[in-house]
Amino acid sequence: MRFKWGSRIKSAPYIENDQRIERHAERAERDEAAFPESAIEEDGGPWTAKTDQANMTQGLPNRDVDDRRSAAEAEEVLLVYDRECPACDVYCRMVRIQPSAGTLRIVNARDPNPVMEEITEAGLDIDQGMVVKKDGRLYYGSEAIHVLARLSSRTGIFNRMSYHMFRSRAAAHLLYPPLRACRNLLLKALGKTKINNLRIEGNDRF
């Protein structure tokens, strides 16, 4: 079975996953309003310290401890990309997702691993788009970057920009092809070969 770029099957599980992603996005918006970044210093700051102290006095859980526990308990989210691409590597290392969405783990598509076997079996060409695996489902190309935007923690300039650029599925579908074309030109200029996970004859060069 072959997938076209940016496509996925709209089955009931996918609809359920979309709803789950929407809930994570809504929760992030509520957290952003309740805990503005300007009120929290990078090292936690006095505002966080006072809040944690008040919580301990009242017998309430520490917010940072809750976040770490939620992240540990949540399911892992895999981001599969070509690490030989400098632009892709910068993006994937800077992107952050909210703790309630899971723990983000980046995977180099050039290394043999089980998720790459799944991607190949699904007929997805990793040279033409990154893949996000969440809740057992594969999101490819523009869908992958859209899902990451919806799950984004929105902390820092980079993640806020990414969220506003790709939170719309239509915008992600529009912007992803030129970004992919620039990425392919960069890899060609660097003399990199394709991963060619689908083993297509004569498809080793960009």
**Residues constituting the chain:** 206
131 in helix, strand or coil? strand
**CA-CA distance, 83 to 126, in Å (whole number)?**
12
- Residue-wise pLDDT for 156-178, tens only, equals 999 999 999 999 999 999 999 99
**DSSP strands (E only) in the chain:** 76-81, 103-108, 131-134, 137-140
Q: What is the DSSP letter of 11?
A: -
Residue 3 is inside which H or E element, if any?
Answer: none
Q: What is the pTM of this model?
A: 0.67
CB 127 within 8 A of CB 119: no
Q: Which two tokens stand for residue 158?
A: 């980079």
Instruction: Please determine, for residue 23, whether its predicted confidence score (pLDDT) is greater than 80.
Output: no
- Residue-wise pLDDT for 51-110, tens only, equals 444 444 444 444 454 555 444 445 899 999 999 999 999 999 999 999 999 999 999 999
Domain boundaries, the chain: 12-35+75-189
Q: Which residues pair with 205 in a beta bridge?
A: 193
